[in-house]
Amino acid sequence: MESPVVPDTNIPASSTDALRCAGTVDALVSPRGGLDVLSRAEVARLRDAAAGSVLHDLLRRCALAVLTTGSTLDDARAAAALYPDFDIHIRPHDRGIKLELRGAPAQAFVDGQVIRGVAELLFAVVRDIIYVTTEIEGDPKYSFASGGGITSAVFEILRNAHILKPRSEPNLVVCWGGHSISREEYDYTKTVGYELGLRGLDICTGCGPGAMKGPMKGATIAHAKQRKSDPRYIGLTEPGIIAAESPNPIVNHLVILPDIEKRLEAFVRLGHGFIVFPGGVGTCEEILFILGLLTWPENAAEPFPLVFTGPRESAAYFERIDRFLRLVLGEDIAKRYQILVEDPAGVARAMKAGIGKVRQRRIQTQDAYFFNWSLAVPDDLQHPFEPSHAAMAALNLHRGQPIHQLAANLRRAFSGIVAGNVKEEGMKCIEREGPFEIHGDADIMQALDELLKAFVAQGRMKMSGEYKPCYRVVV
Protein backbone atom coordinates (compact mmCIF):
# COMPACT_ATOMS: atom_id res chain seq x y z
CA MET A 1 0.00 0.00 0.00
CA GLU A 2 1.09 3.55 -0.65
CA SER A 3 2.40 5.70 2.18
CA PRO A 4 1.09 9.23 2.67
CA VAL A 5 3.35 12.02 1.43
CA VAL A 6 4.71 14.32 4.13
CA PRO A 7 3.99 17.89 3.03
CA ASP A 8 6.25 20.88 2.78
CA THR A 9 4.39 23.80 4.34
CA ASN A 10 6.41 26.36 2.36
CA ILE A 11 4.14 26.27 -0.67
CA PRO A 12 4.46 28.88 -3.41
CA ALA A 13 1.46 30.97 -4.43
CA SER A 14 -1.19 29.07 -6.41
CA SER A 15 -1.04 29.00 -10.18
CA THR A 16 -3.13 27.61 -12.99
CA ASP A 17 -0.59 24.89 -13.67
CA ALA A 18 -0.02 21.98 -11.33
CA LEU A 19 3.34 22.38 -9.62
CA ARG A 20 4.96 19.59 -7.67
CA CYS A 21 6.66 21.05 -4.62
CA ALA A 22 8.09 18.70 -2.00
CA GLY A 23 4.92 16.71 -1.29
CA THR A 24 2.22 19.24 -2.18
CA VAL A 25 0.76 20.71 -5.34
CA ASP A 26 -1.29 23.78 -6.28
CA ALA A 27 -3.51 23.23 -9.31
CA LEU A 28 -6.57 24.25 -11.28
CA VAL A 29 -8.39 21.03 -12.18
CA SER A 30 -10.78 20.73 -15.13
CA PRO A 31 -14.06 18.80 -14.80
CA ARG A 32 -14.28 15.04 -15.06
CA GLY A 33 -17.38 12.94 -14.66
CA GLY A 34 -20.40 15.03 -15.65
CA LEU A 35 -19.88 18.55 -14.30
CA ASP A 36 -18.50 20.05 -17.51
CA VAL A 37 -21.83 21.26 -18.98
CA LEU A 38 -23.67 23.59 -16.62
CA SER A 39 -25.98 26.57 -16.98
CA ARG A 40 -25.07 29.96 -15.56
CA ALA A 41 -27.72 29.49 -12.88
CA GLU A 42 -26.25 26.12 -11.89
CA VAL A 43 -22.74 27.57 -11.74
CA ALA A 44 -23.97 30.44 -9.56
CA ARG A 45 -25.73 27.99 -7.24
CA LEU A 46 -22.60 25.89 -6.93
CA ARG A 47 -20.47 28.94 -6.19
CA ASP A 48 -22.91 30.37 -3.64
CA ALA A 49 -23.45 27.03 -1.90
CA ALA A 50 -19.71 26.47 -1.58
CA ALA A 51 -19.31 29.85 0.09
CA GLY A 52 -20.93 28.60 3.34
CA SER A 53 -18.40 27.66 5.99
CA VAL A 54 -20.03 24.33 6.94
CA LEU A 55 -20.36 23.20 3.34
CA HIS A 56 -16.85 24.39 2.49
CA ASP A 57 -15.40 22.40 5.37
CA LEU A 58 -17.32 19.31 4.21
CA LEU A 59 -16.02 19.72 0.65
CA ARG A 60 -12.50 20.23 1.92
CA ARG A 61 -12.50 17.06 4.08
CA CYS A 62 -14.03 14.83 1.40
CA ALA A 63 -11.78 16.24 -1.34
CA LEU A 64 -8.69 15.60 0.78
CA ALA A 65 -9.81 11.99 1.23
CA VAL A 66 -10.04 11.54 -2.55
CA LEU A 67 -6.67 13.19 -3.12
CA THR A 68 -5.06 10.75 -0.66
CA THR A 69 -6.54 7.72 -2.42
CA GLY A 70 -4.58 4.62 -1.39
CA SER A 71 -3.59 6.01 2.02
CA THR A 72 -3.29 3.57 4.92
CA LEU A 73 -4.59 6.15 7.41
CA ASP A 74 -7.97 5.60 9.06
CA ASP A 75 -8.03 8.82 11.08
CA ALA A 76 -9.56 11.92 9.50
CA ARG A 77 -7.55 14.22 11.77
CA ALA A 78 -4.27 12.52 10.87
CA ALA A 79 -4.86 13.24 7.18
CA ALA A 80 -5.73 16.86 7.96
CA ALA A 81 -2.56 17.20 10.05
CA LEU A 82 -0.44 15.90 7.17
CA TYR A 83 -1.87 18.55 4.82
CA PRO A 84 -2.79 21.51 7.06
CA ASP A 85 -2.66 24.03 4.21
CA PHE A 86 -4.92 22.10 1.85
CA ASP A 87 -7.90 24.05 0.55
CA ILE A 88 -10.37 23.80 -2.32
CA HIS A 89 -12.41 26.47 -4.11
CA ILE A 90 -15.02 26.22 -6.87
CA ARG A 91 -14.24 28.64 -9.71
CA PRO A 92 -16.74 29.50 -12.51
CA HIS A 93 -15.23 28.91 -15.94
CA ASP A 94 -16.81 29.03 -19.43
CA ARG A 95 -20.34 28.05 -18.30
CA GLY A 96 -18.86 25.37 -16.08
CA ILE A 97 -16.54 25.11 -13.10
CA LYS A 98 -12.96 24.31 -12.26
CA LEU A 99 -11.55 23.34 -8.91
CA GLU A 100 -8.71 25.36 -7.47
CA LEU A 101 -6.58 23.22 -5.17
CA ARG A 102 -3.99 24.62 -2.79
CA GLY A 103 -1.53 22.50 -0.89
CA ALA A 104 -2.95 19.30 -2.40
CA PRO A 105 -1.18 15.94 -1.81
CA ALA A 106 1.41 15.37 -4.55
CA GLN A 107 0.53 11.67 -4.72
CA ALA A 108 -2.61 12.65 -6.68
CA PHE A 109 -0.45 14.04 -9.54
CA VAL A 110 1.92 12.59 -12.14
CA ASP A 111 4.33 14.91 -13.92
CA GLY A 112 2.27 17.91 -12.87
CA GLN A 113 -1.07 16.46 -14.05
CA VAL A 114 -3.80 15.20 -11.77
CA ILE A 115 -4.45 11.46 -12.17
CA ARG A 116 -7.59 11.01 -14.27
CA GLY A 117 -9.31 8.66 -11.84
CA VAL A 118 -8.60 10.99 -8.94
CA ALA A 119 -10.09 13.90 -10.90
CA GLU A 120 -13.25 11.88 -11.59
CA LEU A 121 -13.66 11.05 -7.91
CA LEU A 122 -12.96 14.65 -6.97
CA PHE A 123 -15.79 15.92 -9.14
CA ALA A 124 -18.02 13.15 -7.78
CA VAL A 125 -17.47 14.68 -4.34
CA VAL A 126 -18.55 18.10 -5.60
CA ARG A 127 -21.47 16.63 -7.53
CA ASP A 128 -22.97 14.71 -4.60
CA ILE A 129 -22.38 17.20 -1.80
CA ILE A 130 -23.68 20.15 -3.77
CA TYR A 131 -26.62 18.19 -5.21
CA VAL A 132 -27.79 17.04 -1.79
CA THR A 133 -27.41 20.55 -0.37
CA THR A 134 -29.11 22.44 -3.19
CA GLU A 135 -31.64 19.95 -4.59
CA ILE A 136 -32.49 17.39 -1.89
CA GLU A 137 -32.36 19.06 1.51
CA GLY A 138 -35.36 21.28 2.08
CA ASP A 139 -37.41 19.86 -0.81
CA PRO A 140 -40.67 18.42 0.62
CA LYS A 141 -40.58 15.59 -1.97
CA TYR A 142 -37.52 14.22 -0.20
CA SER A 143 -38.53 14.84 3.40
CA PHE A 144 -36.11 12.97 5.65
CA ALA A 145 -38.93 12.72 8.20
CA SER A 146 -40.73 10.02 6.19
CA GLY A 147 -39.57 6.64 4.96
CA GLY A 148 -40.86 7.31 1.47
CA GLY A 149 -39.05 10.63 1.34
CA ILE A 150 -35.77 9.03 2.41
CA THR A 151 -36.07 6.30 -0.23
CA SER A 152 -36.90 8.90 -2.90
CA ALA A 153 -33.84 10.92 -1.86
CA VAL A 154 -31.59 7.85 -2.09
CA PHE A 155 -32.98 7.12 -5.56
CA GLU A 156 -32.43 10.69 -6.79
CA ILE A 157 -28.86 10.82 -5.48
CA LEU A 158 -28.03 7.56 -7.26
CA ARG A 159 -29.76 8.66 -10.45
CA ASN A 160 -27.93 12.00 -10.43
CA ALA A 161 -24.67 10.05 -10.10
CA HIS A 162 -25.59 7.95 -13.18
CA ILE A 163 -25.37 4.72 -11.16
CA LEU A 164 -28.77 3.33 -12.17
CA LYS A 165 -28.60 1.25 -15.38
CA PRO A 166 -32.16 0.49 -16.57
CA ARG A 167 -31.20 -1.79 -19.45
CA SER A 168 -28.74 -3.96 -17.52
CA GLU A 169 -29.36 -7.46 -16.21
CA PRO A 170 -28.98 -7.95 -12.43
CA ASN A 171 -25.27 -8.49 -11.78
CA LEU A 172 -24.18 -6.27 -8.88
CA VAL A 173 -22.57 -7.98 -5.89
CA VAL A 174 -22.14 -5.92 -2.72
CA CYS A 175 -19.00 -6.87 -0.77
CA TRP A 176 -18.72 -5.84 2.86
CA GLY A 177 -15.74 -6.33 5.15
CA GLY A 178 -13.10 -4.59 7.20
CA HIS A 179 -10.50 -2.04 6.21
CA SER A 180 -8.06 -3.60 8.70
CA ILE A 181 -7.61 -7.27 7.71
CA SER A 182 -4.75 -9.75 7.46
CA ARG A 183 -2.76 -10.38 4.30
CA GLU A 184 -4.34 -13.84 3.96
CA GLU A 185 -7.81 -12.35 4.21
CA TYR A 186 -7.01 -9.61 1.71
CA ASP A 187 -5.63 -12.09 -0.82
CA TYR A 188 -8.75 -14.20 -0.36
CA THR A 189 -11.02 -11.22 -1.13
CA LYS A 190 -9.09 -10.75 -4.39
CA THR A 191 -9.62 -14.38 -5.34
CA VAL A 192 -13.35 -14.14 -4.64
CA GLY A 193 -13.49 -10.96 -6.73
CA TYR A 194 -11.69 -12.80 -9.54
CA GLU A 195 -14.27 -15.61 -9.47
CA LEU A 196 -17.11 -13.09 -9.47
CA GLY A 197 -15.55 -11.25 -12.41
CA LEU A 198 -15.20 -14.44 -14.43
CA ARG A 199 -18.96 -14.82 -14.13
CA GLY A 200 -19.63 -11.30 -15.39
CA LEU A 201 -20.54 -9.84 -12.00
CA ASP A 202 -19.78 -6.25 -11.03
CA ILE A 203 -18.64 -5.13 -7.59
CA CYS A 204 -20.00 -2.59 -5.10
CA THR A 205 -18.23 -1.90 -1.79
CA GLY A 206 -17.80 0.82 0.80
CA CYS A 207 -14.96 2.09 -1.44
CA GLY A 208 -12.15 1.97 1.12
CA PRO A 209 -9.09 -0.30 1.55
CA GLY A 210 -8.88 -3.92 2.72
CA ALA A 211 -11.95 -6.04 2.01
CA MET A 212 -13.46 -3.14 0.08
CA LYS A 213 -10.54 -2.99 -2.35
CA GLY A 214 -9.64 -6.67 -2.74
CA PRO A 215 -12.79 -7.87 -4.58
CA MET A 216 -12.51 -4.98 -7.03
CA LYS A 217 -8.85 -5.72 -7.67
CA GLY A 218 -9.52 -9.39 -8.35
CA ALA A 219 -12.48 -8.59 -10.58
CA THR A 220 -10.42 -6.27 -12.78
CA ILE A 221 -8.27 -9.19 -13.95
CA ALA A 222 -11.25 -11.44 -14.59
CA HIS A 223 -13.15 -8.70 -16.40
CA ALA A 224 -10.13 -8.11 -18.62
CA LYS A 225 -9.83 -11.83 -19.40
CA GLN A 226 -13.53 -11.98 -20.26
CA ARG A 227 -13.22 -8.76 -22.29
CA LYS A 228 -16.04 -7.25 -20.28
CA SER A 229 -16.74 -3.70 -21.42
CA ASP A 230 -17.61 -0.94 -18.96
CA PRO A 231 -17.15 -2.91 -15.72
CA ARG A 232 -18.54 -1.19 -12.65
CA TYR A 233 -16.60 -0.80 -9.40
CA ILE A 234 -19.05 1.21 -7.31
CA GLY A 235 -18.04 2.79 -4.01
CA LEU A 236 -20.77 4.02 -1.65
CA THR A 237 -19.73 6.17 1.29
CA GLU A 238 -20.79 9.08 3.47
CA PRO A 239 -18.95 12.20 4.69
CA GLY A 240 -17.95 10.88 8.10
CA ILE A 241 -16.53 7.66 6.66
CA ILE A 242 -14.78 8.94 3.53
CA ALA A 243 -12.82 11.46 5.61
CA ALA A 244 -11.32 8.54 7.53
CA GLU A 245 -11.21 5.91 4.77
CA SER A 246 -9.97 7.25 1.47
CA PRO A 247 -11.42 5.60 -1.66
CA ASN A 248 -9.32 2.86 -3.15
CA PRO A 249 -7.94 3.63 -6.64
CA ILE A 250 -10.05 1.00 -8.43
CA VAL A 251 -13.38 2.68 -7.69
CA ASN A 252 -14.74 4.12 -10.96
CA HIS A 253 -18.16 5.20 -9.65
CA LEU A 254 -18.14 7.04 -6.31
CA VAL A 255 -21.32 8.16 -4.55
CA ILE A 256 -21.43 10.07 -1.28
CA LEU A 257 -24.73 9.64 0.58
CA PRO A 258 -25.72 12.12 3.34
CA ASP A 259 -25.35 9.69 6.27
CA ILE A 260 -24.69 6.07 7.17
CA GLU A 261 -28.36 5.04 7.10
CA LYS A 262 -28.90 6.32 3.56
CA ARG A 263 -25.64 4.71 2.52
CA LEU A 264 -26.83 1.36 3.86
CA GLU A 265 -30.19 1.75 2.15
CA ALA A 266 -28.40 2.52 -1.13
CA PHE A 267 -26.50 -0.78 -0.81
CA VAL A 268 -29.65 -2.87 -0.42
CA ARG A 269 -31.63 -0.99 -3.08
CA LEU A 270 -28.80 -1.38 -5.63
CA GLY A 271 -27.30 -4.77 -4.81
CA HIS A 272 -28.46 -8.15 -6.11
CA GLY A 273 -26.23 -10.34 -3.93
CA PHE A 274 -24.24 -9.75 -0.74
CA ILE A 275 -20.91 -11.10 0.49
CA VAL A 276 -19.48 -10.44 3.94
CA PHE A 277 -15.74 -10.81 4.49
CA PRO A 278 -14.02 -10.56 7.90
CA GLY A 279 -14.16 -7.13 9.47
CA GLY A 280 -14.75 -5.21 12.66
CA VAL A 281 -17.56 -3.11 14.10
CA GLY A 282 -18.44 -1.49 10.78
CA THR A 283 -18.93 -4.91 9.22
CA CYS A 284 -21.11 -5.99 12.16
CA GLU A 285 -23.18 -2.85 11.66
CA GLU A 286 -23.75 -3.87 8.04
CA ILE A 287 -24.61 -7.46 9.02
CA LEU A 288 -27.17 -6.31 11.57
CA PHE A 289 -28.66 -3.84 9.10
CA ILE A 290 -29.30 -6.51 6.50
CA LEU A 291 -30.53 -9.04 9.07
CA GLY A 292 -32.86 -6.39 10.47
CA LEU A 293 -34.28 -6.08 6.95
CA LEU A 294 -34.57 -9.80 6.33
CA THR A 295 -36.40 -10.40 9.64
CA TRP A 296 -38.90 -7.63 8.88
CA PRO A 297 -42.15 -9.54 8.06
CA GLU A 298 -42.83 -7.58 4.85
CA ASN A 299 -39.57 -8.86 3.35
CA ALA A 300 -40.22 -12.56 3.96
CA ALA A 301 -40.58 -13.30 0.24
CA GLU A 302 -37.59 -11.24 -0.89
CA PRO A 303 -34.68 -13.38 -2.17
CA PHE A 304 -31.47 -11.97 -0.74
CA PRO A 305 -28.37 -14.08 -1.37
CA LEU A 306 -26.13 -13.47 1.65
CA VAL A 307 -22.82 -15.32 2.10
CA PHE A 308 -20.22 -14.94 4.87
CA THR A 309 -16.80 -16.03 3.65
CA GLY A 310 -13.07 -15.90 4.29
CA PRO A 311 -9.93 -18.05 4.09
CA ARG A 312 -9.46 -21.03 6.37
CA GLU A 313 -7.58 -18.74 8.78
CA SER A 314 -10.88 -16.86 9.31
CA ALA A 315 -13.00 -19.91 10.17
CA ALA A 316 -12.92 -19.09 13.89
CA TYR A 317 -13.92 -15.50 13.14
CA PHE A 318 -17.12 -16.59 11.42
CA GLU A 319 -17.83 -19.20 14.10
CA ARG A 320 -17.75 -16.35 16.64
CA ILE A 321 -19.99 -14.12 14.48
CA ASP A 322 -22.42 -17.02 13.98
CA ARG A 323 -22.55 -17.76 17.75
CA PHE A 324 -23.17 -14.10 18.52
CA LEU A 325 -26.01 -13.79 16.00
CA ARG A 326 -27.68 -17.04 17.12
CA LEU A 327 -27.46 -16.09 20.80
CA VAL A 328 -28.80 -12.58 20.32
CA LEU A 329 -31.30 -13.01 17.48
CA GLY A 330 -32.23 -16.69 17.86
CA GLU A 331 -31.28 -19.90 16.08
CA ASP A 332 -33.55 -19.21 13.09
CA ILE A 333 -31.40 -16.22 12.10
CA ALA A 334 -28.82 -18.66 10.66
CA LYS A 335 -31.32 -19.55 7.90
CA ARG A 336 -30.80 -16.04 6.50
CA TYR A 337 -27.14 -16.50 5.58
CA GLN A 338 -24.67 -19.11 4.34
CA ILE A 339 -21.11 -19.54 5.62
CA LEU A 340 -18.53 -20.71 3.06
CA VAL A 341 -14.88 -20.93 4.17
CA GLU A 342 -11.97 -21.23 1.71
CA ASP A 343 -14.25 -21.62 -1.31
CA PRO A 344 -14.02 -18.62 -3.68
CA ALA A 345 -15.58 -20.42 -6.65
CA GLY A 346 -18.39 -21.73 -4.43
CA VAL A 347 -19.10 -18.19 -3.23
CA ALA A 348 -19.27 -16.90 -6.81
CA ARG A 349 -21.57 -19.75 -7.86
CA ALA A 350 -23.83 -19.04 -4.88
CA MET A 351 -24.01 -15.38 -5.91
CA LYS A 352 -24.76 -16.26 -9.53
CA ALA A 353 -27.55 -18.65 -8.52
CA GLY A 354 -28.96 -16.25 -5.92
CA ILE A 355 -29.02 -13.38 -8.39
CA GLY A 356 -30.96 -15.60 -10.77
CA LYS A 357 -33.66 -15.90 -8.08
CA VAL A 358 -33.58 -12.13 -7.59
CA ARG A 359 -34.14 -11.67 -11.30
CA GLN A 360 -37.17 -13.96 -11.29
CA ARG A 361 -38.62 -12.17 -8.26
CA ARG A 362 -38.23 -8.78 -9.92
CA ILE A 363 -40.03 -10.10 -13.02
CA GLN A 364 -42.87 -11.49 -10.90
CA THR A 365 -43.31 -8.25 -8.96
CA GLN A 366 -42.64 -6.03 -11.99
CA ASP A 367 -39.90 -4.32 -10.01
CA ALA A 368 -36.84 -2.68 -11.54
CA TYR A 369 -33.59 -4.60 -11.86
CA PHE A 370 -31.60 -1.47 -11.03
CA PHE A 371 -33.40 -0.35 -7.83
CA ASN A 372 -35.27 -2.60 -5.40
CA TRP A 373 -38.46 -0.62 -4.77
CA SER A 374 -40.27 -3.63 -3.29
CA LEU A 375 -37.92 -3.93 -0.34
CA ALA A 376 -39.42 -2.60 2.89
CA VAL A 377 -36.95 -0.66 5.05
CA PRO A 378 -38.42 -0.06 8.53
CA ASP A 379 -38.11 3.32 10.23
CA ASP A 380 -35.68 1.89 12.80
CA LEU A 381 -33.16 1.36 10.00
CA GLN A 382 -33.84 4.52 7.97
CA HIS A 383 -33.63 7.40 10.40
CA PRO A 384 -30.16 8.62 11.41
CA PHE A 385 -28.82 7.66 14.80
CA GLU A 386 -26.74 10.38 16.45
CA PRO A 387 -24.36 8.56 18.80
CA SER A 388 -24.20 10.72 21.91
CA HIS A 389 -23.41 9.31 25.35
CA ALA A 390 -27.07 9.59 26.34
CA ALA A 391 -28.29 7.95 23.13
CA MET A 392 -25.82 5.05 23.41
CA ALA A 393 -26.71 4.43 27.06
CA ALA A 394 -30.44 4.52 26.26
CA LEU A 395 -30.35 1.87 23.50
CA ASN A 396 -32.84 -0.93 24.07
CA LEU A 397 -30.60 -4.00 23.97
CA HIS A 398 -33.03 -6.21 25.87
CA ARG A 399 -35.10 -9.19 24.84
CA GLY A 400 -38.88 -8.97 24.66
CA GLN A 401 -38.96 -6.94 21.45
CA PRO A 402 -39.33 -8.11 17.83
CA ILE A 403 -36.15 -9.54 16.38
CA HIS A 404 -35.89 -6.87 13.68
CA GLN A 405 -36.07 -4.13 16.33
CA LEU A 406 -33.36 -5.75 18.46
CA ALA A 407 -31.20 -6.09 15.34
CA ALA A 408 -31.79 -2.40 14.55
CA ASN A 409 -30.79 -1.33 18.07
CA LEU A 410 -27.68 -3.49 17.99
CA ARG A 411 -26.87 -1.90 14.63
CA ARG A 412 -27.02 1.49 16.33
CA ALA A 413 -24.63 0.31 19.05
CA PHE A 414 -22.05 -0.74 16.46
CA SER A 415 -22.65 2.49 14.52
CA GLY A 416 -21.83 4.48 17.65
CA ILE A 417 -18.57 2.58 18.11
CA VAL A 418 -17.65 3.26 14.46
CA ALA A 419 -18.28 6.96 15.09
CA GLY A 420 -16.13 6.94 18.22
CA ASN A 421 -13.35 5.10 16.37
CA VAL A 422 -12.99 7.11 13.17
CA LYS A 423 -15.51 9.95 12.76
CA GLU A 424 -14.46 13.46 13.72
CA GLU A 425 -17.55 14.33 15.79
CA GLY A 426 -17.59 10.95 17.51
CA MET A 427 -13.92 11.23 18.43
CA LYS A 428 -14.46 14.70 19.88
CA CYS A 429 -17.40 13.40 21.89
CA ILE A 430 -15.24 10.64 23.39
CA GLU A 431 -12.46 13.10 24.20
CA ARG A 432 -14.91 15.38 26.04
CA GLU A 433 -16.88 12.80 28.01
CA GLY A 434 -14.96 9.53 27.94
CA PRO A 435 -16.08 6.18 26.48
CA PHE A 436 -19.68 5.43 25.53
CA GLU A 437 -21.47 3.11 27.94
CA ILE A 438 -23.58 0.30 26.49
CA HIS A 439 -26.25 -1.38 28.63
CA GLY A 440 -28.54 -4.36 28.05
CA ASP A 441 -29.43 -7.90 29.06
CA ALA A 442 -26.51 -9.61 30.78
CA ASP A 443 -26.08 -12.43 28.26
CA ILE A 444 -26.25 -10.02 25.30
CA MET A 445 -23.73 -7.68 26.93
CA GLN A 446 -21.38 -10.55 27.74
CA ALA A 447 -21.52 -11.81 24.14
CA LEU A 448 -21.03 -8.28 22.80
CA ASP A 449 -18.08 -7.66 25.13
CA GLU A 450 -16.38 -10.90 24.07
CA LEU A 451 -16.92 -10.09 20.38
CA LEU A 452 -15.49 -6.58 20.70
CA LYS A 453 -12.49 -7.80 22.71
CA ALA A 454 -11.76 -10.33 19.97
CA PHE A 455 -11.85 -7.55 17.36
CA VAL A 456 -9.35 -5.52 19.39
CA ALA A 457 -7.05 -8.52 19.91
CA GLN A 458 -7.14 -9.32 16.18
CA GLY A 459 -6.34 -5.72 15.17
CA ARG A 460 -9.70 -5.21 13.44
CA MET A 461 -10.46 -1.85 15.02
CA LYS A 462 -7.66 0.25 13.55
CA MET A 463 -5.21 0.06 10.64
CA SER A 464 -2.36 1.90 12.33
CA GLY A 465 -1.43 3.07 15.81
CA GLU A 466 -2.62 1.88 19.21
CA TYR A 467 -6.36 1.35 19.60
CA LYS A 468 -8.02 2.94 22.63
CA PRO A 469 -11.59 1.67 23.13
CA CYS A 470 -14.26 4.35 22.74
CA TYR A 471 -16.85 2.21 24.54
CA ARG A 472 -17.46 0.35 27.78
CA VAL A 473 -19.83 -2.60 27.85
CA VAL A 474 -21.65 -2.68 31.18
CA VAL A 475 -22.08 -6.40 31.98
Distance of CA 349 to the CA centre of its chain: 25
- The DSSP element (H or E) to which 264 belongs, if any, is helix 260-270
State pTM to two decimals.
0.90
Determine the pLDDT at residue 71: 66
| SS3 (DSSP) at 212 | helix
Q: Which residues belong to CATH 3.40.50.450 in the chain? A: 165-475
Determine the pLDDT at residue 443: 96
- CATH code that applies to domain 165-475: 3.40.50.450
Angle between helix axes 315-329 and 403-422 (nearest 10 degrees) is 130
Neighbours of 176 (CB within 10 A): 28
Query: In a structure prediction context, what are the per-residue pLDDT tens digits for the chain, which is 475 residues long?
Result: 333 333 333 333 333 333 334 489 999 998 776 566 666 666 676 666 666 667 888 888 899 999 988 666 666 667 778 889 999 888 877 657 888 999 999 999 999 899 999 999 999 998 898 889 888 888 888 888 889 999 999 999 999 999 999 989 999 999 999 988 999 999 999 999 999 999 999 999 999 999 999 999 999 999 999 999 999 999 999 998 887 788 999 999 999 999 999 999 999 999 999 999 999 999 999 999 999 999 999 999 999 999 999 999 999 999 999 999 999 999 999 999 999 999 999 999 999 999 999 999 999 999 999 999 999 999 899 999 999 999 999 999 999 999 999 999 999 999 999 999 888 889 889 999 999 999 999 999 999 999 999 998 888 887 666 788 899 999 7
Q: Which residues belong to CATH 3.30.1850.10 in the chain? A: 19-122
Determine the pLDDT at residue 422: 82
- CATH code that applies to domain 19-122: 3.30.1850.10
Taking the C-alpha atoms of residue 415 and residue 463, their distance in angstroms, rounded to an integer, is 18
| SS3 (DSSP) at 97 | strand
- Tell me which residue of 256, 253, 405 sits closest to 328, measured CA to CA: 405
